[in-house]
């Protein structure tokens, strides 16, 4: 029974809570007890008797190899095996043991158990934690198995330890950061997409930064021992505030919770202060299943979460889905793409605010009958035209609009709008590329929405430089100090809306899913391509830093749009080691005065969905140790027919240059 129903959570795996069980040769009874009486959704259970050892069986059978002890696959239906059982690999296996017999037994058992789980069509198997920091043979064996698996996921059990009191390696006596243990294992397994993590949540938790790095990893389950729970005044289990926040983070990242251990508490006392809707029958069940109250508490936390906002529900299908950026000059957008962007009411409200402020500064009240020439370059299907006309009506100013659009299909829609909306005599439709249009007069206000996820990646600098000839001779970009200028001076100025300035940003991220999705293509091209993506299962490792900045009008004598930037990122001291899979890119743009648009996380415009972040992958992920700096270099390069980015990491480990000469990814002029 799922933890609850909430809008947007219907397809989330985190709605299902499991329970870790001991071996039971009557798996049907084990399933009935935990699912029917306990109301859990699945069990994590051993598939074979823990006393089984291949060497003992072979010794007793004269060396004849026999199958491990396991129940028949007929005791459950295929759908029950697949939906309600996670196989738990024998905890005693140690493939890196100095004891050769134990090592050989471990390898044989591991392969037999996973083969049996594969036969049962289980969705996942839980692998025991590595016994020591050195786990090369364990990883080698798992990697061999992964090469021949169908769709089954292997969950490597990793304790969620604190950095300052990390687990002790029994062999070397060294402190082991559990993340480093996981990182070593997955690197040895070549970042295989079917290898995931099951975190053992302990009573003490690492720092917030240390916890955050796990949300960029492929964590599929969180195992919470009953020892981790506290007891409230009525004798019922509860969790500390930090643990509650962590559980909510798991829910939000589709990480399933598994309850483990035994109950030493009174689970049947009346008068619970939890919010439950149990019938009298369920009260009896509470008395029979020792862990039911723990499940109820997990469900209570789930119910306390706010439903996903409508925008988040709309974007669910785009989470961590790689999309190629638009090619605005080479391609004509389709109607569906226009419609998606036009639904972003917040973006056009910001444009309307910017145009309104510009009109009021451009034309004082005593000259309200003066007509302002406004040009919308890249008009699409007219949302900016409409926003500009609404701004004129709001401010009581007169405007004359030129709507310039190169897409002939969108031009058809614009002509229809002129008739439908009664824009005759106000709006003139120009079917032309703004770079080549010979305007009949100069503009007072120039409006455009040429920004991409990385600011300049849809060639706004090149387009707006080409449109700059529309400016009046005394036209300038308005700075924030405009209010200190005289009204007479203001009336002589050109007003340039979007953009007086826009800046791109990057930040290093752990993004295991995105990296594996790029890696699955098995070629260089995809690792040298920037993708638009709704980032979700990522860890932001350091605050974003600015990369490239563009200002319009561009009064530079050279007018070069090439850029180069070197950046240094440092992880917070309490993060521990972390893996950098690539860089998230954002932009922030000043529309006019205090009106801005942006997706840079610290200043992002709320409730706006026109832009997702951009993702620059790394061919070889970079492992950052505590105290090390990440040195990154980014270039914006321009040719006669294309613009492209190049990027590389120079420290702590030098990496390959990405996208040299735009060989894999470029934007056509």
Span 288-321, pLDDT tens digits: 789 999 999 999 999 999 888 888 888 888 999 9
pLDDT in tens, 342-355: 999 999 999 999 89
**pLDDT interval class at 472 (50, 70, 90):** low
Query: Does 266 have pLDDT greater than 50?
Result: no
Q: Which residues pair with 175 in a beta bridge?
A: 168
Q: Which residues pair with 399 in a beta bridge?
A: 372
Report the pLDDT averaged over residues 71-79.
Answer: 86
Residue with tokens 């007003």: 495
For residue 605, being part of any structural domain is answered with: yes
Query: Is 279 in the same domain as 376?
Result: no
Query: Does 494 have pLDDT greater than 90?
Result: no
Query: Is 220 in the same domain as 79?
Result: yes
Query: Is 235 in the same domain as 367?
Result: no
Query: Is 487 in the same domain as 590?
Result: no
Q: Which of 20, 107, 113, 458 is catalytic?
A: 458
Query: Does 428 have pLDDT greater than 80?
Result: yes
Report the pLDDT averaged over residues 412-425.
Answer: 94
Q: Who contacts 529 (Cβ-Cβ below 8 Å, separation ≥6)?
A: 324, 617, 659, 664, 665
For residue 547, being part of any structural domain is answered with: yes
Report the pLDDT averaged over residues 515-534.
Answer: 96
Query: Is 646 in the same domain as 595?
Result: yes
Q: What is the pLDDT at residue 461?
A: 86
Q: How far apart are CA 135 and CA 286, in angstroms?
A: 42
CATH for 135: 3.20.20.150
Q: Which two tokens stand for residue 658?
A: 């990405």
Residue 339 is among the residues annotated as catalytic for this protein: no
For residue 325, being part of any structural domain is answered with: no
Q: Which two tokens stand for residue 264?
A: 């030493």
Q: What is the pLDDT at residue 189?
A: 96
Domain boundary among 450, 472, 496: 496
Instruction: State the sign of the Cα–Cα–Cα–Cα dihedral 17, 21, 26, 29.
Output: negative
Beta strands 237-238 and 230-231 are antiparallel
Q: What are phi and psi of 105, to 5 degrees?
A: -60, -40
pLDDT in tens, 313-367: 888 889 999 998 888 788 888 999 899 889 999 999 999 998 998 899 888 999 9
For residue 324, being part of any structural domain is answered with: no
Q: How far apart are CA 23 and CA 12, in angstroms?
A: 29
Q: How far apart are CA 88 and CA 154, in angstroms?
A: 10
Query: Is 353 in the same domain as 298?
Result: no
Query: Is 446 in the same domain as 490?
Result: yes
Query: Is 117 in the same domain as 234?
Result: yes
CATH for 598: 2.70.160.11
Question: Reduced to 3 states, what is the DSSP secondary structure of residue 165?
Answer: coil
**Number of domains the chain is built from:** 3
Q: What is the pLDDT at residue 399?
A: 94
Q: Point out the annotated binding site for S-adenosyl-L-methionine.
A: 338, 347-348, 405, 433-434
Q: Which of 20, 113, 217, 449 is catalytic?
A: 449
Query: Does 512 have pLDDT greater than 50?
Result: yes
Query: Does 203 have pLDDT greater than 80?
Result: yes
Query: Does 142 have pLDDT greater than 80?
Result: yes
Domain boundary among 496, 528, 545: 496
| H or E element at residue 469 | none
Report the pLDDT averaged over residues 464-469.
Answer: 76
For residue 433, being part of any structural domain is answered with: yes
Domain boundary among 478, 496, 514: 496
Q: What is the pLDDT at residue 491?
A: 32
pLDDT in tens, 101-121: 999 999 999 999 999 999 999
Beta strands 124-127 and 85-88 are parallel
Report the pLDDT averaged over residues 214-235.
Answer: 95
Q: What is the pLDDT at residue 475?
A: 46
Q: How far apart are CA 326 and CA 349, in angstroms?
A: 23
For residue 288, being part of any structural domain is answered with: yes
Q: How far apart are CA 159 and CA 223, in angstroms?
A: 9
Query: Is 301 in the same domain as 417?
Result: no
pLDDT in tens, 149-192: 988 999 999 999 866 544 445 455 456 789 999 999 999 999 99
Q: What is the pLDDT at residue 476?
A: 33
Query: Is 352 in the same domain as 456?
Result: yes
Prediction pTM value: 0.89
Number of H helices, E strands in the chain: 19, 28
On whether the CB atoms of residues 84 and 32 are closer than 8 A, the answer is no
Q: Who contacts 591 (Cβ-Cβ below 8 Å, separation ≥6)?
A: 350, 351, 353, 354, 497, 498, 499, 500, 597
Query: Is 302 in the same domain as 342?
Result: no
For residue 314, being part of any structural domain is answered with: no
- Angle, helices 136-147/100-119, rounded to nearest 10 degrees: 30
For residue 559, being part of any structural domain is answered with: yes
Q: What are phi and psi of 490, to 5 degrees?
A: -60, -40
Instruction: List for the chain the helix, strand, coil content (%; round to 5).
Output: 35, 25, 40
In 3D space, the residue among 596, 602, 618 whose CA is nearest the CA of residue 540 turns out to be 602
Torsion of CA 275, 280, 282, 287, to 10 degrees: 100
Query: Does 556 have pLDDT greater than 50?
Result: yes
Report the pLDDT averaged over residues 46-58.
Answer: 83
On whether the CB atoms of residues 584 and 537 are closer than 8 A, the answer is no
Query: Does 196 have pLDDT greater than 60?
Result: yes
Q: Point out the annotated binding site.
A: 338, 347-348, 405, 433-434
Q: What is the pLDDT at residue 22?
A: 92
Instruction: Quote the domain boundaries for residue 137.
Output: 13-308
Residue 458 is among the residues annotated as catalytic for this protein: yes
22-31, 423-432, 472-481: the lowest-pLDDT one: 472-481
Mean pLDDT, rounded, of the chain: 86
Q: How far apart are CA 635 and CA 174, in angstroms?
A: 42
Query: Is 478 in the same domain as 514?
Result: no
């Amino acid at each position: 029974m799922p933890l609850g129903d909430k809008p947007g959570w219907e397809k989330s795996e985190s709605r299902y809570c499991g329970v870790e069980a001991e071996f039971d040769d009557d798996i049907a009874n084990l399933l009935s007890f935990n699912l029917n009486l306990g109301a859990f959704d699945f069990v994590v259970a051993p598939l074979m008797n823990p006393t089984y050892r291949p060497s003992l069986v072979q010794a007793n059978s004269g060396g004849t190899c026999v199958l491990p002890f396991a129940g028949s696959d007929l005791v459950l239906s295929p759908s029950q095996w697949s939906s309600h059982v996670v196989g738990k690999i024998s905890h005693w296996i140690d493939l890196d043991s100095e004891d050769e017999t134990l090592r050989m037994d471990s390898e044989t058992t591991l392969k037999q158990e996973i083969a049996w789980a594969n036969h049962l069509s289980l969705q996942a198997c839980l692998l025991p934690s590595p016994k020591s920091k050195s786990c090369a043979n364990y990883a080698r064996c798992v990697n061999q198995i992964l090469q021949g698996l169908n769709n089954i996921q292997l969950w490597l059990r990793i304790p969620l330890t604190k950095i300052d009191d990390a687990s002790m390696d029994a062999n070397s006596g060294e402190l082991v950061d559990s993340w480093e243990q996981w990182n070593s294992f997955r690197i040895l397994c070549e970042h295989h997409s079917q290898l995931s993590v099951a975190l053992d949540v302990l009573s003490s938790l690492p720092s917030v930064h240390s916890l955050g790095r796990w949300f960029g990893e492929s964590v599929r389950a969180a195992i919470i021992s009953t020892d981790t729970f506290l007891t409230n005044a009525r004798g019922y289990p509860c969790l500390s505030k930090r643990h509650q926040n962590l559980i909510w983070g798991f829910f939000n990242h589709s990480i399933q919770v598994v309850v483990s251990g035994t109950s030493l508490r009174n689970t049947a006392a009346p008068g619970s202060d939890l919010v439950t809707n149990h019938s009298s029958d369920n009260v009896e069940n509470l008395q029979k299943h020792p862990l039911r109250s723990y499940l109820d508490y997990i469900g209570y936390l789930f119910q306390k979460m706010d439903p996903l906002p409508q925008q988040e529900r709309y974007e669910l299908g785009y989470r961590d889905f790689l999309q190629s950026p638009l090619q605005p000059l080479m391609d004509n957008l389709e109607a569906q793409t226009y419609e998606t962007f036009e639904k972003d009411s917040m973006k056009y409200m910001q444009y309307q605010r910017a145009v309104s402020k510009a009109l009021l500064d451009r034309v004082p009240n005593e000259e309200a009958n003066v007509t302002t020439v406004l040009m919308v370059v890249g008009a699409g299907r007219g949302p900016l035209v409409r926003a500009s006309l609404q701004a004129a009506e709001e401010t009581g100013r007169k405007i004359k609009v030129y709507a310039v659009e190169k897409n002939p299909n969108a031009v058809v829609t614009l002509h229809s709008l002129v008739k439908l909306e009664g824009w005759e005599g106000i709006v003139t439709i120009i079917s032309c590329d703004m770079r080549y249009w010979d305007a009949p007069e100069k503009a007072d206000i120039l409006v455009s929405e040429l920004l991409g996820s990385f600011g300049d990646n849809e060639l706004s600098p090149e387009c707006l430089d080409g449109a700059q000839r529309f400016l009046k001779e005394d036209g300038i970009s308005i700075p924030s100090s405009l209010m200190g200028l005289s009204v007479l001076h203001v009336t002589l100025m050109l007003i340039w809306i979007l953009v007086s300035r826009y800046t791109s940003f990057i930040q290093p991220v752990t993004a295991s899913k995105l990296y594996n999705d790029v890696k699955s293509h098995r070629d260089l091209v995809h690792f040298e391509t920037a993708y638009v993506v709704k980032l979700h299962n990522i860890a932001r490792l350091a605050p974003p830093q600015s990369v490239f900045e563009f200002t319009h009008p561009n009064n530079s004598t050279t007018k070069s749009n090439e850029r180069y930037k070197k950046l240094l990122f440092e992880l917070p001291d309490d993060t521990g080691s972390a893996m950098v899979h690539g860089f998230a890119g954002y932009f922030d743009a000043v529309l006019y005065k205090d009106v801005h648009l942006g997706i840079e996380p610290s200043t992002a415009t709320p409730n706006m969905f026109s832009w997702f972040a951009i993702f620059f992958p790394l061919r070889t992920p970079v492992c950052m140790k505590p105290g090390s700096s990440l040195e990154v270099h980014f270039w914006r390069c321009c040719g006669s027919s294309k613009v492209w980015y190049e990027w590389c990491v120079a420290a702590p480990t030098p990496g390959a240059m990405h996208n040299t000469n735009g060989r894999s990814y470029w934007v056509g002029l």
